[in-house]
Amino acid sequence: MRLANRGMVDRNAPVTFTFDGVGHSGFEGDTLASALLANGVRLVGRSFKYHRPRGILTAGSEEPNALVTLGSGARQDPNVRATQQELYEGLAAQSQNRWPSLDWDLLALNDLAAPFFGAGFYYKTFMWPKAFWEKLYEPAIRRAAGLGALSGLNNADTYERAFAFCDLLVIGSGPAGLMAALGAARAGADVILAEEDFRMGGRLLAETHEVDGKPGHLWAAGLLDELASMDNVRLMTRTTVTGAYDQGTYGALERVSHHVPRSRAPLECFWRIVAKRAILAAGALERPVAFRNNDRPGIMTASAVRAYANRWGVSPGKAVSVFTNNDDGYRTARDLVAAGVHVAALIDSRHDGPDLPGVHVIKGAQVCDAAGRKGLESITIRTHRGEEKLLTDCLAMSGGWNPTLHLTCHMNGRPAWREDIQGFAPVPGMIPGLQAVGACNGSFSTAACLREGAEAAEDALEALGFKPAALELPQAEDDPFRIAPLWSVEGKGRAWLDFQNDVTVKDVKQAAVENFRSVEHMKRYTTQGMATDQGKNSNVAALAVLADVTGRAIPETGTTTFRPPFVPVSIAAMGAGAQGKGFAPQRFTTSHKASIERGAPMIEAGLWYRPSYFPAPGESNWRQACDREVKMVRETVGICDVSTLGKIDIQGPDAAAFLDFVYTNTFSTLKVGRTRYGLMLREDGFVMDDGTCARLGETHFLMTTTTAAAGEVMRHLEFVHQCLRPELDVVFTSVTEQWAQFAVAGPKSRDLLDALLDKPLNGPDWPFMACGPVTVMGVKARLFRISFSGEHAYELAVPARYGDALFRELLARAGALGGGPYGMEALNVLRIEKGFITHSEIHGRTTAYDVGLGKMVSEKKDCIGKTMSERDGLIDPMRERLVGLKPVGAVKQVIAGAHLFEVDDAPVRENDKGYVTSVCYSPTLGHMLALAFLKNGPERIGERVKMVDHVRKIEALCEVVHPIAFDPEGGRMRD
């Protein structure tokens, strides 16, 4: 029911919306909840377990009942708090967790079976017969559980993340937060004021108190005008600070455009705010009281009823009653009367409450039952005279206030119990640099909030080194907070603590009887506090009930603790940007475009994209292309972009000594103009990486790493230098990106280069493993005579700007010689034929000894990993060691991932002798080939083993062969 002349909605801006398909209207400035209440909609949802009819309980993000689904298709948004969602034209909301409809929900039958569905009932049953759990019980439970539904479609909205830095972060814009922000801002500090609501002012918007002689919200508006005019202030509405993290980092969720349909702006932004100091002015949350059927639609917190009346001009009922254990409940009655709403009665559990003119105040009484299944119709009041019924369609209840201290618990701090407010309040220092003020510090009067906010600003300014500016404290009410504890009303039936999860007083009591007496056990056993409000509405009362039933005081029983996030945050917001390609950067070689033009399918390798193969006309699958490319390299010349390999420029007087220490083999003896293959170990003795290293000058080396390990090797080199050998005068930097480098491989590679380079190569100057400067069409380039194919081959490097042009030129020239480009598939076949290892073999569990390179660990010097590589277990001949395999039985196939067994052994773990790492069809040799690790492998050349692949059902008899299957003497690459 909309009240005349009250509230801050814009009556000139009507907005239409639907709920479960029924059209309604509200105004700009409404939330979905206020608009539903204005339209007389009371039943808005169903509870989790018993599917009890539920209405709106609160007016904020802590709402446990009024969760709805907005939108449809890929934009379907489940579990939206109606109490937080701003109304917009065309908003379409659906209720949740009901079937077939909100009004008639089949699973409401659960409510009738409640005696059997007590706390933890599922731990005691559904055990027989065993197979029924996955097939019957669990699917049924899953279908009944859950709240809203995801669409199942890929996210279609945009989200973003951002960083912000400030001197002072003020969380909450009520009286305390506003004073804190103003105080700090006037002194010149950089201030961020974050407010969860779409309008700043906090509780001042919901109350009728005056501040400085004017309505609180007008005072706030004036102050906000001043703040908005200051360059050093950032006002962030719709922004909930969700987490407090180390060293002054805070997470915050900004709901950027949930209130704007079809906005081009991101839907949400997840902020990481770094603040030197923070002031928490998050207010407090009113608690319900547990009594029989206290979950009826129409029973709300008293402060919510007041907020709907004062801020939104809506009365949630025609005959409202109030149930309170503290003075605050009187404010609701007072404001409703002032707004012309009939207040049926105010029930105060205390005997010494005040009087309120015009309101029937019943003191020393309790509400002990409520009737009206889909909307409150009456309550039962118990007084010393007995019980009586009162007709009422809305009950405003106040069990006192809990400071909104959640953020202060995020770093494991524990709040302290305060008798005067019957609640937990933060203890200073729970979050370094954060001070809680106002209601969230347990100081509930407006004057106290203003004062603490101003004082906290001064404290912060002092810590930050600013001189405080003048700030006058405005006049405001300073009423004492008087409360007498009442957690649950005695009586039969179920009294709800955790509304959404259907946890009642009985459940907590039963948990205690079953020895779930630790508060953590009780919560886990009953699921109290595990719902979407994370116990904001129920933790303290549940703790109090547990304390009572176990005969302990509340602080002795336990405390409340909260973990991030303060309110639920979408995965899309915190993971913004990752969908699609954004998880990591994409790296493209300079030949990418030309490769794509040739139809090469690209595959990702260590963030780089590399061509898999280059299809030729008439080829219908990758194998044909691969075989052709291999043959091409073996017979004419092939071109392959190898720029992705890591290249590290190493210089300095001690460069050679440094390399001797990081490589197993010796580089100080390498001649200038020559290249050497090097092996690098981790300190635990296993192989880290391999590659060539060229000596470009006396004190100048160029190290090559594998594509995958480039970053790891760079980090390792920095570690070795800075942490282990800082005395060495050596410097290094990555030059991977500076050079576009191409392998020119095959018998005709020399011909190609002689024609391409500005000066033909002088043979004797360019033996195998030579390197040096050359020029290509006037461009200074580097040439290395190295080979990963086993052929006479070179790698030619030019500055990256020329990469595209050089690649195209190389392809043209190779083509003229009967050659062309080759991709990763062919590269892999070429290296397997030659027994060259990659990370398939040096996979982190193999030693130099395992891969047949044990002799590369120099005995003459120390190096990283040397000592540990000599451990008994690492030099045992029975280790799985590198061999080649060739299928020799009826099945001519080998497959990577298969395991090896003796020919007559059963393929079980106890008999496992090794495994296959790399396979290919060798067009050169005309059969399949594998590299494998076999126990004592090198001693078994010529013997036969059985290769078994269970998952692809392949079993093949194989001969153990030397890993170098082709040209074992290496003549082709040397000559």
Partner 1 sequence: MTELLAKTACDGLLSVTAGPFTLSEEPVAPLTSLMPYKGRDKALSAALEAAHGVKLPGVNRSTSKAGISVLWFGRGQFLLVGAGPDGSLAEHAAVVDQSDAWARVRLEGAGADQVLARLLPVDLRAASFKRGHTLRSPLGHMMASVTRTGVNAFSIAVFRSMAATLVHDLKTAMEGVAARG
Partner 2 sequence: MRFSALRILKEGLTGNKGWTPHWRDPAPKPAYDVIVIGGGGHGLATAFYLAAEHGLTNVAVLEKGYIGGGNVGRNTTIVRANYNMPGNSEFYSHSLKLWEGLEESLNYNVMHSQRGVINLFHSDGQRDYAARRANSMINQGDDAILLDREGVRRMVPYLDFENVRFPVYGGLYHPRGGTARHDAVAWGYARGADMRGVDIIQNCEVTGIDVENGRVTGVQTTRGAIKAKKVGIVVAGRSGQVAALAGMRLPIESHVLQAFVTEGLKPCIDQVITFGMGHFYISQSDKGGLVFGGDLDMYASYAARGNLPLVEHVMEAGMTLMPMIGKARVLRSWGGIMDMSPDGSPIIDKTHIDGLYLDCGWCYGGFKAVPGSGNCFAHLIAQDRPHPAATRFRLDRFRTGVGLMDEEGTGSQHNLH
Partner 3 sequence: MRLPCPICGERDRREFYYRGAALALHRPDPDAGDEAWADYVHLRDNPAGVTRDLWYHEGGCSAWIVVTRNTVTHEVLGAELAEGAR
570 binds, among partner 3, partner 2, partner 1, none (CB under 5 to 8 A by kind): partner 2
243 vs 615, beta carbon nearer partner 3: 243
788 vs 807, beta carbon nearer partner 1: 807
631 vs 861, beta carbon nearer partner 3: 861
Q: Is 581 in the site for partner 1 (CB under 8 A)?
A: yes
Angle 682-687-688 (CA atoms, 0-180°, nearest 5)? 60
Q: Is 759 in the site for partner 1 (CB under 8 A)?
A: no
* Total of residues contacting partner 1 (CB under 8 A): 58
123 binds, among partner 2, partner 3, partner 1, none (CB under 5 to 8 A by kind): partner 2
Among 29, 172, 183, 266, binds partner 1 (CB under 8 A): 266
Instruction: Find the helix or strand (DSSP H, E) in which 226 lies.
Output: helix 216-228
Among 602, 735, 761, 941, binds partner 1 (CB under 8 A): 735
* Token pair 């203003």 in the structure block, residue: 450
Neighbouring residues of 219: CB distance < 8 A, sequence distance ≥ 6: 204, 210, 211, 212, 474
* Token pair 């949740």 in the structure block, residue: 96
147 binds, among partner 3, partner 1, partner 2, none (CB under 5 to 8 A by kind): partner 2
Q: Which of 633, 601, 628, 602 is nearest to 616 (CA)?
A: 628
CB of residue 666 vs partner 3: minimum separation in angstroms? 15
Per-residue tokens: 130? 């065993």
| Among the residue ranges 268-276, 522-530, 612-620, 895-903, the one whose residues contact partner 1 (CB under 8 A) | 268-276
571 vs 731, beta carbon nearer partner 1: 731
Residue environment code for 780-811, b if the CB has 16+ CB neighbours within 10 A, otherwise e: ebbbbbbbbbbbbbbbbbbebebbbbbbebbb
Among 165, 351, 427, 432, binds partner 1 (CB under 8 A): 165
CB of residue 269 vs partner 1: minimum separation in angstroms? 8
CB of residue 718 vs partner 2: minimum separation in angstroms? 15
CB of residue 108 vs partner 2: minimum separation in angstroms? 17
CB of residue 736 vs partner 3: minimum separation in angstroms? 15
The conformation of residue 39, written as its DSSP 8-state character, comes to: T
866 binds, among partner 1, partner 3, partner 2, none (CB under 5 to 8 A by kind): partner 3
Per-residue tokens: 56? 């709106």
Beta strand pairing call for 342-348 and 319-324? parallel
723 vs 906, beta carbon nearer partner 3: 723
| Among the residue ranges 624-632, 812-820, 946-954, 967-975, the one whose residues contact partner 2 (CB under 8 A) | 946-954
Torsion, Cα of 707, 709, 710, 713 (10° steps): -150
Q: Is 581 in the site for partner 2 (CB under 8 A)?
A: yes
Half-sphere exposure of 259 (CA within 13 A, CB side): 21
Among 214, 801, 950, 974, binds partner 2 (CB under 8 A): 950
Q: Which of residues 548-577 bind partner 1 (CB under 8 A)?
A: 577
949 binds, among partner 2, partner 3, partner 1, none (CB under 5 to 8 A by kind): partner 2
Q: Is 101 in the site for partner 1 (CB under 8 A)?
A: no
| Among the residue ranges 10-18, 131-139, 355-363, 399-407, the one whose residues contact partner 2 (CB under 8 A) | 131-139
CB of residue 845 vs partner 3: minimum separation in angstroms? 16
Q: Which burial class, exposed, middle or buried, applies to 460 when counting CB atoms under 10 A from its CB (0-12, 13-18, 19+)?
A: buried
Among 465, 585, 617, 942, binds partner 1 (CB under 8 A): 585
Q: Which of 82, 85, 86, 114 is nearest to 96 (CA)?
A: 82
Q: Is 156 in the site for partner 1 (CB under 8 A)?
A: no
Per-residue tokens: 526? 């009953």
Q: Which of 115, 110, 125 is nearest to 48 (CA)?
A: 110
867 binds, among partner 2, partner 3, partner 1, none (CB under 5 to 8 A by kind): partner 3
427 vs 812, beta carbon nearer partner 1: 812
Q: Which residues bind partner 3 (CB under 8 A)?
A: 163, 245-249, 272, 274, 411, 432, 683-684, 715, 718-719, 722-724, 726, 862, 866-868, 871
Q: Which of 636, 964, 643 is nearest to 830 (CA)?
A: 964
CB of residue 862 vs partner 3: minimum separation in angstroms? 4
User: Could you give the angle at which helices 519-526 and 539-549 cross, rounded to 10 degrees?
Assistant: 110
392 vs 532, beta carbon nearer partner 2: 532
312 binds, among partner 2, partner 3, partner 1, none (CB under 5 to 8 A by kind): none
Among 272, 414, 598, 962, binds partner 2 (CB under 8 A): 272
Q: Is 465 in the site for partner 1 (CB under 8 A)?
A: no
| Among the residue ranges 14-22, 425-433, 805-813, 864-872, the one whose residues contact partner 2 (CB under 8 A) | 864-872
579 binds, among partner 2, partner 1, partner 3, none (CB under 5 to 8 A by kind): partner 2
Q: Is 579 in the site for partner 1 (CB under 8 A)?
A: no
735 binds, among partner 3, partner 1, partner 2, none (CB under 5 to 8 A by kind): partner 1
CA–CA distances in Å: residue 423 to residues 173, 250, 416: 22, 25, 8
274 vs 761, beta carbon nearer partner 2: 274
Q: CA 373, 377, 383, 387 torsion: positive or negative? A: negative
Q: Distance between CA 697 and CA 967 in Å, rounded?
A: 33
Neighbouring residues of 585: CB distance < 8 A, sequence distance ≥ 6: 607
122 binds, among partner 3, partner 1, partner 2, none (CB under 5 to 8 A by kind): partner 2
Q: Is 393 in the site for partner 1 (CB under 8 A)?
A: no
Neighbouring residues of 271: CB distance < 8 A, sequence distance ≥ 6: 161, 162, 163, 164, 236, 239, 250, 251, 252, 253, 254
Q: Distance between CA 795 and CA 753 in Å, rounded?
A: 10
Q: Which of residues 208-247 bind partner 1 (CB under 8 A)?
A: none
Q: Is 243 in the site for partner 2 (CB under 8 A)?
A: yes
Q: Is 106 in the site for partner 2 (CB under 8 A)?
A: no
| Among the residue ranges 352-360, 438-446, 780-788, 837-845, the one whose residues contact partner 2 (CB under 8 A) | 837-845
| Among the residue ranges 154-162, 319-327, 395-403, 620-628, the one whose residues contact partner 1 (CB under 8 A) | 154-162
Per-residue tokens: 299? 């029973």
Q: What is the DSSP string of 636-693?
A: S-EEEE-TTSEEEEEESTTHHHHHHHHBSS--TTPPTTBEEEEEEE-TTSSEEEEEEE
* Total of residues contacting partner 2 (CB under 8 A): 121
The conformation of residue 122, written as its DSSP 8-state character, comes to: G
Q: Distance between CA 695 and CA 606 in Å, rounded?
A: 27
* Token pair 């005691």 in the structure block, residue: 124
Per-residue tokens: 905? 């052994």
114 vs 779, beta carbon nearer partner 1: 779
SS (H, E, C) 925-943: CCEEEEEEEEECHHHHCCC
C-beta atoms surrounding 530 within 10 Å: 16
Q: Is 143 in the site for partner 2 (CB under 8 A)?
A: yes
First vs last Cα of the chain: how many Å apart? Answer: 95
Q: Distance between CA 751 and CA 742 in Å, rounded?
A: 16
Among 25, 208, 237, 651, binds partner 1 (CB under 8 A): 651
Q: Which of residues 241-260 bind partner 1 (CB under 8 A)?
A: 256
Q: Report whether 614 contacts 820 (CB < 8 A).
A: yes
Q: Distance between CA 357 and CA 663 in Å, rounded?
A: 91
Q: Report whether 660 contacts 863 (CB < 8 A).
A: yes
Question: Contact positions toward partner 1, by CB under 8 A?
Answer: 158, 160-165, 190, 256, 263-266, 269, 272, 274, 577, 581-590, 608, 649, 651-653, 700, 729, 731-739, 776-779, 798-806, 809, 812
